[in-house]
Structure 1
Amino acid sequence: MTSKRVRLRELGINIGSLPIGTYNAITDVPGVEVGHATVHEDTPSVLRTGVTAILPLGKDKVWSHGVFAGSSVFNGYGEMTGRGWLEEAGQLSSPILLTSYYGVGAVHRGINKLCDDKDTHSGTHPIVAETWDGWLSDPNAFALTTEHVAQAMENTRPGHVDEGCVGGGTGMVCHDFKAGIGTSSRQVSVLGKPYTVGVLVQANYGDRKDFRVNGVPVGLQIPATEVPVPDRKRVPHVEDGSIIIVIATDAPISSKQCDRLARRATLGLGRTGGFGHNGSGDYAIAFSTGNTLKLRKEGLHEGLKIIPEKDINPLFHGVVEATEEAIVNSLCMAVTTQGYKGRVVHELPLARMTDILNRK
């Protein structure tokens, strides 16, 4: 039976020591917008899939401005389109779209079709990242279309972010519980100025026995006899799953520093029990809105500011804490889901987890 779903902090459980932003979400970084298109259908195919869109600078600047960005791959059994140009130029000038492995082609095509000026806009190379939802969603349906991309883009908003079984996270499983989209943020001070680090994840990895919250082995204390483990663990050649971590900050950092920030997200993944298994695609992308690049104007990019390397540590702390909490939020907000072939993935029992953490 589905229980009332609430975020981790609503259970009285805090991760880390840094303060959170207003919404405790990636959208606490000014300008960032998030939207979802959720596909939950039973006929003619059983579909539990979707698209999540992240706009670094909001709708108004989505094609006309860019930001410094970088990425990191912990284990590369996955796909992130556009990463070659991202690493080459250190710039991001498109939305970031999260979806199913089976939707990458359609979503990539869709976002290119939606670009407002395909003749003159160069250097877009959209970022489309995936995790596999084929356990709960019919992998042969290839259901996603340009219309779903347009819907996710139209639904993007600042402020509150829907979590759990929504958008690209609709069919995802994490640590053998139902999961999906999760987000969190941290406020930090660098050189006496306040900045925000926000994280959004699409979580689809891990074993029950490895799941930890605040270092407590929660998963070990919720055995399969209490909450069933998905049968996919007994099916040969079904891989471990993946995670996409999207990091935003308004701190003015360079593309190389964005690479560094993306690498630190792996520490937050490790704190929840992610090991980067052979069959896992663990991708992180980080961008900074602290400098904006006007793509449709000639001349130099002027007035750029960059934080010195020696002062960047608070951002590292922020991304680790926010990544861990975003992953746990993705589990807290997801509900028990029945999908393809009648398969069921059960939600994380929140009362049970709270009891375990209170008794640690």
Structure 2
Amino acid sequence: MGIPFEGTTGPHNAITDVGGIEVGYTTLIEGSGVRTGVTAILPRGKASKDPVFASWFPLNGNGEMTGTAWIDESGFMEGPVMLTNTHSVGVVRDAVVRWQFENGKMFQPYSYPIVAETYDGTLNDINGFHVKPDHALAAIAAAKTGSIAEGNVGGGTGMVCFQLKGGTGTSSRVAEPYTVGVLVQANFGLRHQLVIAGVPVGKAIPIPPAEPAPPAGEQGSIIVVVATDAPLLPHQLRRLAKRAAMGLARTGSQAGNGSGDIMLAFSTANAGAASPESGVAPVELLANAKINPLFDATIFATEEAILNAMAAAETMTGFEGRTIEALPADRVRALMAEH
């Protein structure tokens, strides 16, 4: 679409450019009312149960991410990270515990899975409770490295962004010698707010009269997952999570009262730090004076991941016959050329 994104991407322009990360989806599109799914992100892949250093940041807390109390307390996170719709958090959480138990992936005798959500009730019959435990297990089983799908896939299947079709998006940035990868479930914003590379695109894309209106004042939600191979500790990862909010702002988000904008950040460095044999873990720490390139990488990758979700998403008709149009690529291309 001729969008001049900043920074240098990794080879796949995806969160999987951070070594070892695997991503899988279950996408549910059935009949006229099922438009939902599950996304699984495994920080060290299916073969490992080694926790990672992590932190999180709620830009606006009208949303849910389970397991965050233990992240705050311990500084560690046990994978996988799961994304789904608002009313399927519980069933996905329980499925993760089952998977960990049955596959020997429980780091301790109990588990606090990380499951986050956004509301897909415009296109999905969310109270039909279509996500089942096996759908969560299938997303984990499908997780892989390399290039991954975007748009109407996984937990992002039924999402709406800036009153256009949203969904799952990803991007990465290289901050030598490190990489930052981002995956989003984008489901926020009003049309007039949409900004692409500084251009107020949303104001130039009219809303058809028949398009379903959002609830008064509602601005939706987004989950942002930030990953890096840089050796960052939890207090630094919280700083990274906060910078994801700046990438969100670059697209026009105002993080309104009805929005659940939650950012999670983790580092794949310092393997084994959660269970040192001696009881004392030697860890590497990037100096704060060297962290700015990672801030930039997070901001730029978050911005692009949101727009990649919209660019990849296709027009969808769903629950009660509602249709949400895709981002009009030709119109965006023309607007970018004008500026």
The equivalent residue for 2:193 is 210
Q: Is the 8 A contact 2:52 2:266 kept in 1?
A: yes
1:147-181 CA-to-partner distances (Å, cap 9, x unmatched) read 00111001100011100000000000000100100
1:85 to 54, 70, 73: 70
The verdict on how the C-alpha distance between 1:32 and 1:232 changes in structure 2, with shifts beyond 3 A counting, is same
User: How many Å separate the matches in 1 of 2:107 and 2:9?
Assistant: 40
Runs ≥4 residues deviating over 2 A = 11-14, 116-124, 293-303
The verdict on how the C-alpha distance between 1:259 and 1:42 changes in structure 2, with shifts beyond 3 A counting, is same
1:161 to 116, 124, 148: 148
1:60-91 CA-to-partner distances (Å, cap 9, x unmatched) read 11x2x011000001000000000111111110
Q: In the TM superposition, what is the alpha-carbon distance from 1:135 to its structure 2 partner?
A: 1.0
User: How many Å separate the matches in 2 of 1:176 and 1:54?
Assistant: 27
TM-score (norm 1): 0.90
The equivalent residue for 2:94 is 109
User: How many Å separate the matches in 2 of 1:153 and 1:280?
Assistant: 28
Q: Does 1:232 align with 2:222?
A: no
Q: In the TM superposition, what is the alpha-carbon distance from 1:267 to its structure 2 partner?
A: 0.4
The equivalent residue for 1:38 is 27
Q: Is the 8 A contact 2:78 2:107 kept in 1?
A: no
1:304-328 CA-to-partner distances (Å, cap 9, x unmatched) read 1000111111000000000000000
The verdict on how the C-alpha distance between 1:252 and 1:123 changes in structure 2, with shifts beyond 3 A counting, is farther
The verdict on how the C-alpha distance between 1:113 and 1:354 changes in structure 2, with shifts beyond 3 A counting, is same
The verdict on how the C-alpha distance between 1:208 and 1:291 changes in structure 2, with shifts beyond 3 A counting, is same
Q: In the TM superposition, what is the alpha-carbon distance from 1:146 to its structure 2 partner?
A: 1.1
User: How many Å separate the matches in 2 of 1:280 and 1:333?
Assistant: 23
Q: Is the 8 A contact 1:27 1:160 kept in 2?
A: yes
User: How many Å separate the matches in 2 of 1:352 and 1:309?
Assistant: 42
SS in 2 for 1:261: helix
Letter in 2 for 1:154: A
Q: Which residues of structure 2 form unaligned runs of 5+?
A: none
Letter in 2 for 1:52: T
1:161-218 CA-to-partner distances (Å, cap 9, x unmatched) read 10000000000000010010000000013xxxx1100000000000110101111000
The equivalent residue for 1:185 is 172
Which stretch of the first structure deviates more once superposed, 207-216 or 287-296?
287-296
The equivalent residue for 1:338 is 317
Q: In the TM superposition, what is the alpha-carbon distance from 1:296 to its structure 2 partner?
A: 6.2
User: How many Å separate the matches in 2 of 1:168 and 1:134?
Assistant: 12
The equivalent residue for 1:197 is 180
Identity of aligned residues (%): 45
* Counterpart mapping for 1:1-360 below 5 A: 11-16=1-6, 18-42=7-31, 46-61=33-48, 63=49, 65-115=50-100, 116-117=103-104, 121-122=108-109, 124-189=111-176, 194-225=177-208, 230-233=211-214, 235=215, 239-293=218-272, 298-360=277-339
The equivalent residue for 1:8 is none
1:70-115 CA-to-partner distances (Å, cap 9, x unmatched) read 0001000000000111111110112100000011011011111111
TM-score (norm 2): 0.95
RMSD (Å), alpha carbons: 1.7
Aligned residues: 337
Q: Is the 8 A contact 2:82 2:115 kept in 1?
A: yes
The verdict on how the C-alpha distance between 1:308 and 1:273 changes in structure 2, with shifts beyond 3 A counting, is same
SS in 2 for 1:58: coil
Letter in 1 for 2:187: N
User: How many Å separate the matches in 2 of 1:106 and 1:246?
Assistant: 21
